[in-house]
Amino acid sequence: MIMGWNDHIDDGNELANLPPEAFNPFDVDGPFDPNDHWLESADEVDQATAVKCWFYARYCDPAHETPYNTREGGYLFIHGGPYDPAVVLPDRFSGIVSDEIIQDIIDDLYSEVGDKWAPIRYAHFDDFDYDERFDLQLHARNEPLDKLKERLEHAQLVLTLQGDENARRLAINLVFGAAIAAFEAFLWETVDYSVENDDDTVRNIVTNIPALKDQPMKLGEIFEKHKNLKEQVKGYLQNLIWHKWDKVVPLLKFGLCIEPPSFKPFDEPILKRHDIVHRSGHDKSGKPISVTTSEITELCQKIEQFAIDINSRLAERRGGDF
């Protein structure tokens, strides 16, 4: 996962809830590192929040960052690690925060991922290289919505197939995953079309999205970067994980200048899709994932309605096509 320094937080309010004195003035350009003097005397809630934010700024679930070796049955930690919260947290915070708070956070992190976390790599413009092989060819503003409807319809046709019960069960899981993939594709295509056809969108994204606006740049690079600015933004979109709502919402709000509907109805489906794709249809305790055809139908309806709402808000914002 290639990220800006503060992109790790799923709930953007976590850091915002900390007082200004929580932040180390000497580390404004790096991952969040709390002011130890403040941390020692902070209340327990703020201490726990700061410690968790420090950890999430540096480590992530390897499912998002690290290739998986199916033959060996484990992740390949090619960027370093794995890192154990029980090692890194006491090493950083012992003597500053109580052992009880540290242990509670370790227990939470263990229940979330376990004792093997991957390091987060932080973004640079070079990580957003545009690759024309993955470029999108969109010719009308409504095309992402039309494609979404077609993809959802075709995926659901698989549910009508007959055959071996095990094969049908696998097909249901795959259709569930395909619905989420179609949703992600819609979001990407919608933003990409606006970037390609509206210079204001490019300007809005570059000046408002932390992963881009906070990029360091040498003076001698300014003209070259400016000339290729649209490609750099499109490269960022190509590398984005489109089910990370904390990344997608700012693109819609500050890039396309629309207020999106709530993504909350899709939180549970995203977790289920993760288990289908990354755990071969089992949850983290090893139990098989259960998906019903009615569940898929409901999910597809929610996705399509969400997309229609987005399209309508864009049309209202833009005053028609562009």
pLDDT at position 29: 47
Radius of gyration, CA atoms only, the chain: 22
pLDDT digits (tens, 9 = 90+) for 202-232: 999 988 887 776 666 666 666 666 667 888 8
pTM: 0.62
Domain boundaries, the chain: 2-122, 131-318
pLDDT digits (tens, 9 = 90+) for 231-246: 888 988 988 889 888 7
pLDDT at position 211: 73
Cα separation, 233 vs 221, whole angstroms? 16
Point out which residues pair with 119 in neighbouring strands.
Answer: 59
Whether residue 8 has pLDDT greater than 50: no
pLDDT digits (tens, 9 = 90+) for 271-307: 899 888 877 888 777 888 889 999 999 999 999 999 9
Select, from the ranges 51-65, 226-240, 247-261, the one with the highest average predicted confidence (pLDDT): 247-261
Helix, coil or strand: residue 172: helix
What CA–CA distances, in Å, run from 52 to 7, 14, 154? 14, 9, 42
